[in-house]
């Protein structure tokens, strides 16, 4: 795709066609995104699923764009229309993943930038959205400068990364990678009392594509993902770009505590099997074990039964999300938790939690593993390319650091089938999954330029390699 009147942005200078294979470091360094256009577009698309207002400014609202809702459909329609207008061919697969591909000089699997357009119910404007919108800006810049890549480049929007509406995170890249069966994903029911499934909602909004959801049908040469850090490290160190070398292993457990319902007023403390009191000890203890093992453990959901002010809870179930950089750490903390939870349920004291309390009757604890994802090591070539791009864009390797991703991302699944790495930019106060999530326009633009360079450098690497 050369620069033509129809593909170059109006008002932008159209250089004579430039071929990536011939790019020098200075060419890469001089390649900039249009910061105003990028920022405007990013926030303009936040009209699809605007969430909770947290400030008086025009962009000071969060997002509520749950996967496959009407607002997600609007964002998808915009993405398809926009990438088509930029000269892309668009493919939708059976999971509703959208692949927009800009042709290169030669036919081959494209180098992709990608992330997701869905959000948490009380999410912000950057998580996922930044990764897709920076891919769209990349297409714009390539067109602005009439740049010809050797191989196709693409932008992918992955479905239901958040797992907030259909309760498996990264489910659609998981199907694409072959790790999650299509049928299981299609049958996923909406959380809460909803009756709809992923498949019925894909059909309803018109995004149940004909192409199989598989890395075999839509192969990728590589996958680069720009994402907000969602943590406090870059902000604390004053650095600008995280080169993501690894992603934490994580496991999700559901723990069910079984005690005995009884009347709150008439049951002495020593005659109780209070499921909520034991749960409090277990959550406090899981936090201590996480501290000991230098990892993180969190209880994000909890259900209490029967849920009456004057009935001692007979049953409590809660989730534990445990993450560590190494699989072995998770093995160890899981084993410690299972041993200690059973001891606490039997009435033993651990770490003084029961000191000063009244020993009641024994309870039981049951475990269920809902997710178990091994630690990810991203592809060394992609990691090197991201690092080189970050130093080139920021002008200093002191502004760049290697990082581990605390969160799961679609890149964890793409890494199973193609070279992958990720780019992090700072999150204000380390906050995400929250309406106030914020990354400055400058930092967003730096991230987008690192993404742009990374994709071009990878294309150049491929052409160099094939030329050898």
Q: Taking CB under 8 A as the criterion, which residues in 197-236 touch its own copies?
A: 229-232
Contact with its own copies (CB under 8 A) among 93, 201, 225, 274: 274
Distance, in Å, from the CA atom of 252 to the CA atom of 309, rounded to the nearest integer, reads 29
Min dist. Cβ of residue 236 to its own copies (A): 9
Per CB under 8 A, which region of 75-83, 87-95, 108-116, 294-302 contacts its own copies?
A: 294-302
Q: Are strands 315-324 and 296-298 parallel, antiparallel or unpaired?
A: antiparallel
* CB nearer to its own copies: pick between 185 and 278: 278
**163 lines the binding site for its own copies (CB under 8 A):** yes
Q: Given the complex with its own copies, which of 291 and 398 has the nearer CB atom?
A: 291
Tell me how far apart the alpha carbons of residues 30 and 33 are, in angstroms, rounded to a whole number: 10
| Strand 241-247 relative to strand 376-377, pairing | antiparallel
- Give whichever of 142 and 344 is closer to its own copies, judged by the CB atom: 344
Least Å from the CB of residue 293 to its own copies: 11
Of 244, 98, 178, 247, nearest to 418 (Cα)?
178
Kindly tell me which of 100 and 363 has the beta carbon lying closer to its own copies: 363
Q: How far is the CB of 353 from its own copies (least distance, A)?
A: 7
Is position 284 an interface residue for its own copies (rule: CB under 8 A)? yes
Listed ranges 89-97, 111-119, 161-169, 197-205: which one lies at the site for its own copies (CB under 8 A): 161-169
By CB under 8 A, the residues from 85 to 124 that bind its own copies are 120-122
Tokens standing for 85? 């207008």
CA dist list (Å): 385 to 143, 382, 457: 22, 5, 7
Angle at 91 between CA 460 and CA 209, to 5 degrees: 150
Is there binding between residue 266 and its own copies (CB under 8 A)?
A: yes
Q: Is 262 one of the binding residues for its own copies (CB under 8 A)?
A: yes
The owner of tokens 């199973």 is 416
Choose, by CB under 8 A, the member of 271, 335, 396, 398 that binds its own copies.
Answer: 271
In whole angstroms, give the CA distance from residue 244 to residue 402: 6
With CB under 8 A as the contact rule, the residue among 158, 281, 413, 458 that binds its own copies is 281
- Give the Cα separation of 73 and 160 in Å (integer): 12
Task: State yes or no: residue 321 binds its own copies (CB under 8 A).
Answer: yes
DSSP letter for each residue of 413-447: HHTTTS-EEEEEE--GGG--SSTT----HHHHHHH
**Sites for its own copies among residues 363-422 (CB under 8 A):** 370, 405-408
Taking the complex as a whole, the smallest distance from the CB of residue 464 to its own copies amounts, in Å, to 35
- Taking CB under 8 A as the criterion, the residue among 187, 237, 264, 372 binding its own copies is 264
CB nearer its own copies, residue 36 or residue 359: 359
| Interface pick for its own copies out of 2, 14, 108, 276 (rule CB under 8 A) | 276
Task: Indicate the SS3 state at residue 291.
Answer: helix
Give me the phi and psi of 163, to 5 degrees please.
65, 15
- Any contact of residue 314 with its own copies (CB under 8 A)? yes
Cβ-based neighbours of 152, under 8 Å, separated by 6 or more: 101, 102, 103, 104, 107, 108, 109, 110, 111
| Residue span 344-363 as binding mask against its own copies, x where in contact by CB under 8 A, dash where not | -------xxx-xxxx-----
24 binds its own copies (CB under 8 A): no
User: Least distance in Å: CB of 120 to its own copies?
Assistant: 7
Residue 351 DSSP label: T
Residue 11 within binding range of its own copies, rule CB under 8 A: no
Site residue total, its own copies (CB under 8 A) = 75
Q: Report the residue from 9, 311, 364, 394 that binds its own copies according to the rule CB under 8 A.
A: 311
Estimate to the nearest angstrom the gap between the alpha carbon of 104 and the chain centroid.
28
Residue in the structure block whose two tokens are 């071929």: 19
Distance CA 339, CA 281 (A): 14
- What CA–CA distance (Å, rounded) separates 414 from 154? 14
Asked whether position 464 contacts its own copies by CB under 8 A, the answer is no
Helices (H), 86-168: 129-144
Q: Are 316 and 304 in contact (CB under 8 A)?
A: yes
Hey, CA dihedral for 400, 388, 458, 84, is it positive or negative?
A: positive
Straight-line distance from the first to the last Cα atom of the chain, in angstroms, rounded to the nearest whole number: 25
List the one residue from 313, 419, 426, 447 that touches its own copies (CB under 8 A): 313
**What's the closest the beta carbon of residue 145 comes to its own copies, in angstroms?**
35
The residue among 285 and 457 lying less far from its own copies, judged by its C-beta, is: 285
């Amino acid at each position: 795709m050369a620069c033509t009147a129809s593909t170059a942005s109006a008002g932008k200078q159209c250089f004579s066609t430039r071929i990536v294979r011939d790019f020098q470091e200075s060419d890469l360094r001089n390649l900039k995104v249009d910061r105003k256009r990028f920022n405007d577009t990013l926030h303009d698309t936040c009209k699809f699923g605007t969430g909770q207002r947290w400030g008086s400014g025009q962009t000071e609202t969060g997002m509520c764009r749950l996967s496959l809702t009407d607002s997600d459909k609007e964002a998808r329609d915009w993405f398809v229309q926009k990438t088509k207008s930029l000269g892309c061919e668009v493919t939708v697969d059976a999971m509703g993943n959208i692949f927009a591909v800009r042709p290169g000089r030669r036919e081959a699997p494209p180098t992709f930038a990608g992330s997701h357009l869905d959000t948490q119910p009380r999410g912000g404007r950057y998580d996922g959205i930044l990764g897709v919108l920076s891919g769209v800006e990349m297409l714009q810049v390539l067109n602005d400068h009439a740049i010809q890549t050797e191989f196709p480049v693409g932008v992918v929007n992955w479905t239901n990364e958040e797992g907030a509406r259909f309760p498996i995170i990264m489910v659609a890249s998981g199907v694409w990678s072959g790790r999650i069966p299509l049928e299981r994903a299609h049958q996923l029911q909406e959380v809460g009392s909803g009756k709809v499934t992923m498949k019925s909602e894909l059909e309803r909004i018109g995004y149940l594509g004909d192409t199989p959801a598989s890395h075999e049908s839509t192969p990728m040469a590589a996958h680069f993902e720009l994402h907000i850090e969602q943590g406090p490290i870059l902000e604390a160190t004053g650095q600008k770009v995280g080169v993501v070398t690894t992603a934490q292993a994580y496991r999700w457990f559901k723990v069910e505590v079984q005690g005995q319902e009884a009347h709150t007023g008439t049951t002495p403390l020593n005659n109780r099997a209070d499921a909520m009191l034991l749960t409090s000890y277990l959550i406090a203890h899981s936090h201590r074990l996480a501290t000991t093992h230098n990892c993180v453990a969190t209880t994000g959901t909890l259900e209490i039964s029967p849920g009456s002010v004057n009935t001692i809870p007979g049953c409590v179930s809660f989730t534990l999300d445990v993450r560590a950089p190494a699989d072995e750490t998770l093995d160890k903390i899981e084993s410690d938790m299972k041993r200690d939870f059973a001891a606490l349920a039997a009435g033993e004291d651990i770490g003084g939690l029961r000191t000063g309390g009244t020993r009641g009757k024994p309870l039981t604890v049951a475990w269920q593993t809902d997710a178990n994802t091994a630690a990810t090591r991203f592809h060394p070539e992609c990691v090197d390319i991201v690092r080189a791009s970050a130093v080139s864009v920021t002008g200093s390797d002191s502004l760049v650091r290697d990082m581990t991703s605390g969160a799961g991302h679609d890149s964890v699944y793409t890494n199973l089938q193609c070279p992958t790495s990720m780019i992090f930019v700072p999150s204000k106060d380390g906050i995400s999954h929250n309406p106030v999530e914020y990354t400055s326009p400058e930092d967003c633009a730096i991230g987008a330029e690192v993404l742009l360079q990374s994709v071009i450098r990878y294309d150049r690497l491929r052409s160099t390699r094939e030329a050898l």
